[in-house]
């Protein structure tokens, strides 16, 4: 898929190949880092596709048992289904290494505590179970999802306090929020007009949750307006998030919403990278209006990494190209995935 001067060829995709605009040595280096990272990723994917066995397409854990992902089921009466009474987290594996797994598990613990959910497994047990799932799939790059639900209500009862919590998890090939070939040119987003983000006073967004009604509505609006991704306002003039955190770049200053959003692990990593680069990072209210004069906008999420947004409401962001700040953070973000301070190798046997 990756060829010549392109981060990705456009083969099989809607956008035709574009001549590369390479101006500076720095940019050339960045392209080269991006290219080599993605080349290696694609090579691993190709290797994985040739694997067979019951777990080749993914593994799951449900009802206390390991199974091929396709077979995983949730009891209809689990309040995780009947009331979306649950929390979840999504760590990931990149190049055979779990990235910041303990940060994800610590957040899962905090989410459970806020919901008064007592998971049926301890955090070390959950950690082992997730590693075992990855091991079974043999996936070198994986999307890992762990869900703690309220469980089944006691028979004939509605009281959530009487339910016994349940846990589910699955590991599947990486599912990109923004197709990888779009990472080179940047994605398109809209600030939603028809939907606002659920406010923290209704559902605390620091509890990672699957009550995606507002986000789903946002995605439909984005599609209707010929864009890929929605950015939801808070109803008070500030931007919040999609199913990812949002950053704006104005000069050497990065801004990301302080409240009304998930405390993202990728957001944290992006902030750490930016500060190490000497850029100022502000966690504060981000007025919707400030998106329209930003030099750069990018999104962050474990399931998408660093996602440049180069089109907003149909108009170019900054110069309409992926900017240098986004590019640098993208590159550092993926490079950090092999840093032993933040990741560890899965033992695949």
Q: Which stretch binds a copy of itself (CB under 8 A): 25-33, 153-161, 246-254, 275-283?
A: 153-161
Query: Judged by CB, which is closer to a copy of itself: 159, or 349?
Result: 159
**What six digits make up the tokens of 172?**
């599947």
164-173 vs 142-152, strand pairing mode: antiparallel
Residue 173 C-beta: closest distance to a copy of itself, Å: 7
Residue 170 C-beta: closest distance to a copy of itself, Å: 6
Query: Judged by CB, which is closer to a copy of itself: 30, or 191?
Result: 191
Identified binder of a copy of itself from the candidate list 14, 25, 49, 76, rule CB under 8 A: 76
Residue 28 C-beta: closest distance to a copy of itself, Å: 32
Query: Judged by CB, which is closer to a copy of itself: 181, or 331?
Result: 181
| Rounded Cα distance, 286 and 234, in Å | 10
Query: Judged by CB, which is closer to a copy of itself: 52, or 76?
Result: 76
70: left (phi over 0), alpha (psi -120 to 50) or beta: alpha
Q: Which stretch binds a copy of itself (CB under 8 A): 12-20, 154-162, 254-262, 289-297?
A: 154-162
Q: Which stretch binds a copy of itself (CB under 8 A): 21-29, 122-130, 151-159, 266-274?
A: 151-159
Q: Are 179 and 169 in contact (CB under 8 A)?
A: no
| Rounded Cα distance, 100 and 266, in Å | 9
C-alpha distances (whole Å) from 183 to each of 112, 178, 263, 326, 330 are 34, 7, 23, 10, 9
Identified binder of a copy of itself from the candidate list 94, 168, 244, 247, rule CB under 8 A: 168
Total number of residues shown for the chain: 349
Residue 211 C-beta: closest distance to a copy of itself, Å: 4
C-alpha distances (whole Å) from 30 to each of 127, 145, 335 are 34, 31, 12
Residue 211 sits in the site that holds a copy of itself (CB under 8 A): yes
Residue 170 sits in the site that holds a copy of itself (CB under 8 A): yes
| Rounded Cα distance, 77 and 70, in Å | 20
Residue 62 sits in the site that holds a copy of itself (CB under 8 A): yes
Q: Which stretch binds a copy of itself (CB under 8 A): 12-20, 218-226, 289-297, 335-343?
A: 218-226
The Cβ of residue 188 has, within 10 Å, a number of other Cβ atoms equal to 21
CA atoms within 13 A on the CB side of 332: 16
In three-state secondary structure terms, 97 is: strand
C-alpha distances (whole Å) from 330 to each of 142, 189, 212 are 18, 18, 27
Residue 1 sits in the site that holds a copy of itself (CB under 8 A): no
Binding site for a copy of itself (CB under 8 A): 57, 60, 62, 69, 72-77, 80-85, 115-116, 155-161, 168, 170, 172-173, 175, 177, 195-199, 201-203, 207, 209-217, 219-220, 223, 235
């Amino acid at each position: 898929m990756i060829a010549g001067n392109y981060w990705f060829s456009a083969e099989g995709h809607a956008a035709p190949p574009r001549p590369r605009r390479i101006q500076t040595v720095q940019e050339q280096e960045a392209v080269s880092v991006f290219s080599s990272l993605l080349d290696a990723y694609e090579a691993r994917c190709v290797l994985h596709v040739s694997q067979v066995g019951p777990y080749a397409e993914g593994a799951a854990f449900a009802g206390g048992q390991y199974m091929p992902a396709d077979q995983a089921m949730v009891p209809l009466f689990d309040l995780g289904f009947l009331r979306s009474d649950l929390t979840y987290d999504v760590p990931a594996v990149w190049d055979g290494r779990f990235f910041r797994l303990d940060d994800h598990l610590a957040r899962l613990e905090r989410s459970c505590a806020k919901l008064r959910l007592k998971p049926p497994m301890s955090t070390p047990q959950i950690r082992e179970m997730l590693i075992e799932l990855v091991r079974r799939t043999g996936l070198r790059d994986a999307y890992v999802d762990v869900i703690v639900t309220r469980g089944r209500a006691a028979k004939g009862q509605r009281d959530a306090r009487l339910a016994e919590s349940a846990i589910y998890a699955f590991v599947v090939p990486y599912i990109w929020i923004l197709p990888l070939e779009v990472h080179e040119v940047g994605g398109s987003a809209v600030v939603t007009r028809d939907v606002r983000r659920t406010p923290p006073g209704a559902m605390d967004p620091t509890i990672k949750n699957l009550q995606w009604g507002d986000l789903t509505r946002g995605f439909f609006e984005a599609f209707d307006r010929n864009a890929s991704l929605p950015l939801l306002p808070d109803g008070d003039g500030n931007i919040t998030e999609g199913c990812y955190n949002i950053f704006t770049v104005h000069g050497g200053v990065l801004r990301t919403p302080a409240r009304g959003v998930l405390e993202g692990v990728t957001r944290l990593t992006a902030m750490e990278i930016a500060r190490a680069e000497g850029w100022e990072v502000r966690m504060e209210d981000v007025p919707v209006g400030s998106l329209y004069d930003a030099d750069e906008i990018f999104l962050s999420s474990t399931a998408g990494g660093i996602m440049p947004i180069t089109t907003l409401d149909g108009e170019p962001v900054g110069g309409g190209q992926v900017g240098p700040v986004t590019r640098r953070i993208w590159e550092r973000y993926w490079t950090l995935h092999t840093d032993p301070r933040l990741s560890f190798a899965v033992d695949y046997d």
